[in-house]
Amino acid sequence: MSDKVEIYTDGACKGNPGPGGWGALLVCQGVERELWGGEAETTNNRMELTAAIRALAELKRPCEVHLTTDSEYVMRGILEWLPNWKKRGWKTAARQPVKNADLWQQLDEQVGRHRVTWGWVRGHTGHPGNERADLLANRGVAAARAQKKHGV
């Protein structure tokens, strides 16, 4: 694993649920790549997860990744809750189905392809990578709203 990649992700939702977007900034050897997308009806947590999944999926070979998010949900899920969810067959401690299990499973699969370390930053505090990811997520929201408006 020679490639070192910095990834910054963010999700956004106007209404929860409502039109949402995700954004990711990938930086490798000084080269930047911006990714974004959106969904007409989704939640903020789903967009936060989607940003991380799509960013990791974009990497064509195993990499050493430092992924920075402003989502406590993603951080706690990946670092604290996921191992037990898997042991319990995707059930919570209260034996309820895990919310967004489809996306958590996809994220788990993508993380397994790389060596990922995780970082958390408080959103909207001027962190350059997080601010860029936020702009991209909002671009995704705008695209989702336009699709919804035009019935696409």
48 is in an annotated binding site: yes
CB atoms within 10 A of CB 98: 20
Q: What pLDDT, on the 0 to 100 scale, is given for residue 149?
A: 74
108 in a labelled binding site: no
Mean pLDDT of 19-45: 97
Please report, for the chain, the start and end positions of each structural domain, with discontinuous segments joined by +. 2-147
Query: In the structure encoding, which two tokens stand for residue 129, read together?
Result: 């990578």
State yes or no: pLDDT of 143 exceeds 80. yes
What is the distance of C-alpha 19 from the center of its chain? 16
Architecture of domain 2-147: 2-Layer Sandwich (3.30)
Beta strands in the chain (DSSP E): 4-13, 18-28, 31-42, 64-69, 115-120
Give the chain's count of helices (H) and strands (E).
5, 5
Mean local confidence (pLDDT), 18-43: 97
Catalogue the active-site residues: 10-11, 48, 70, 124, 134
Scanning the structure block, which residue is given the tokens 């940003």? 51
pLDDT score at 1 = 46
Per-residue pLDDT tens digits for 86-108? 999 999 999 999 999 999 999 99
Cα–Cα distance for residue pair 55/34, rounded to 1 Å: 9
Q: Please give the model's pTM, rounded to 2 decimal places.
A: 0.95
